[in-house]
Structure 1
């Protein structure tokens, strides 16, 4: 798995604070962006994060390039509707020269299970290639490709949605592959907006686990904003 932060709003915390401060300021956003002292930015951010007035977080966004993940992961990822996605197409890209797959650790650690997995994947790949050779369009031959098929995707989320994404997908109960991806995304995002993302992650980072009877019983260590 490769996760790269392609782009983010320049100085995202100042951009967020400017949008929030504009509601009460006699001057324009451009002037606020230029002149607001750093301590005022932090004060405004503190008010936003503590009050839950998160609409201003939507003025900063992040774009990630994600390679080497499975279609099983991206089927989960695109359920986050307040985000933008562009994914490598199985309709237009032919995989007759080779199709990489993602093997779960639970399968890889068992020789017998790994053999079953490999044989099934190879059968699907061979059948796919034969259909393409027979002139079947790739968009139809792809019906044979497994959820394990490796894919690439570009994802853009604003900060509000990104925090929600981390809430759900950094949780120990999230599916292992998307959880690993979410943690890598958070590692890349946090240095760019350390105050906003200081307590990002599973809800147990900030307090009580909301999962009730479904809790994993092993919460992450609490993190406090500086």
Structure 2
């Protein structure tokens, strides 16, 4: 039984990943089409700019089909993401991008909100803004007590009802896989609670935050602002990370990025998708949208995808990648 099925308060757990588009090139489709047009025209860009929407779509479709990516680089998109450090380590491997990440040298990140909620559950008076060794000691003690309760719940299944609130609290600071069973979840949060208790105990002893953070698990949440151009999104990030073979958390992030991009600029991003979609669109006379592949309106013709899935299995693999990345729908279905 998964976390979403087993925990009455599952609807209150913080989603593993959140992403929002915060800035983008507003007239990107026209800009991309105009940039493509001047490569084969004597006209200046302001003349190339004067196009009907149908012409814009035609030029973009041709770019996708031919793999002519440089015009796409003029359109940029900036996102804010909250995810685990595991996920952010994968994200920053995409080199044609800009990143600014929350520093845990200068902030406790999402840890304090978790601690304060646990203190409330345990009935412990915890300062909202710890400023002394005594304050940090209180934080560490509360977390150690919560870890003991989780250990008890692991030993006695009848005690699990008492730790639902702790699970919800821990999800504020650490990413929890919603598909894990409750035994796995409880083992994970016990480790997270113990590690965070050690973190605050180190702060209480005067250890600098930049050193104390070394004991924190990689599942700790972080905030990242990142900017990518449309070419990087279409040809690298989305193809790699929307794939069913990508790690589940960054796949969830990538599908959320796609959902937001296709809402603002469908002319460009309707053709986005995992590498199977990118490869198939390069060999077709006319590229197809991701939705067309998912609905079976376009059939894959490549012998196998880059991950070696044979042709007959690609559509099901694509649907799995989509369905397994829809956390909100999973929660609704299990509520």
The TM-score with structure 1 as length reference comes to: 0.87
Instruction: List gaps (5 residues or longer) in structure 1.
Output: 222-226
Q: In the alignment, is residue 204 of structure 1 matched against residue 276 of structure 2?
A: yes
Q: 1:181: which partner in 2?
A: 253
Deviation at 1:25, TM superposition (A): 3.0
**Structure 2 counterpart of 1:73:** 87
2:178 to 95, 98, 105: 105
Of 83, 93, 97, the match for 1:83 = 97
**How far did residue 132 of structure 1 move?**
1.2
Question: Quick check: 1:23 aligned with 2:39?
Answer: yes
Q: 1:8–1:63: 8 Å Cα contact kept in structure 2?
A: yes
Q: Aligned pair 1:172/2:225, yes or no?
A: no
Structure whose residues are more often strand by fraction: 1
Q: Deviations over 1:143-198 (max 9, x none)?
A: 11111101111111001101121101111111111111100110000122213211
Q: Distance in 2 between matches of 1:56 and 1:103?
A: 39
Q: 2:99 is paired with a residue of what secondary structure?
A: strand
What is the distance in 2 between the residues matched to 1:158 and 1:103? 30
State the partner residue of 1:144. Answer: 215
Structure 1 stretch 115-124 or stretch 171-180: which is displaced more? 115-124
Query: Partner of 1:196: helix, strand, or coil?
Result: helix
| Residue 318 of structure 2 is aligned to residue 220 of structure 1 | yes
Secondary structure class of the residue paired with 1:64 = strand
Report the CA distance between 1:98 and its aligned residue: 4.4
1:36 equivalent to 2:51? Answer yes
8 Å Cα contact 2:20-2:79 kept in structure 1: yes
Aligned residues: 217
CA RMSD of aligned residues (A): 2.1
SS in 1 for 2:22: strand
Cα pair 1:18 1:32 within 8 Å, conserved: yes
C-alpha contact 1:12 1:192 (8 A) present in aligned 2: no
* Deviates most, 155-164 or 206-215: 206-215
1:62 aligns with 2:77: yes
**Against the structure 1 CA distance between its residues 139 and 30, is the aligned structure 2 distance closer, same or farther, given a 3 Å change threshold?**
farther
Q: 1:130: Cα distance to partner?
A: 1.1
- Partner of 1:156, secondary structure, is strand
Q: Distance in 1 between matches of 2:178 and 2:59?
A: 44
Give per-residue Cα distances to partners, 1:47-84, cap 9 Å, x unaligned. Answer: 211111111111101111112x1111001111111111
Residue 60 of structure 2: aligned partner: 45
- 8 A contact 1:4–1:64 mirrored in 2: yes
| C-alpha distance in 1 between matches for 2:67 and 2:74 | 15
Which protein is bigger by CA-based radius of gyration? 2
Q: Give CA-to-partner distance per residue, 1:30-62, whole Å, 9 cap, x none.
A: 3432x2232322222222111111111111011
- Kept in 2, the 8 Å contact 1:204–1:219? The answer is no
Give the secondary structure class of the aligned counterpart of 1:85: strand
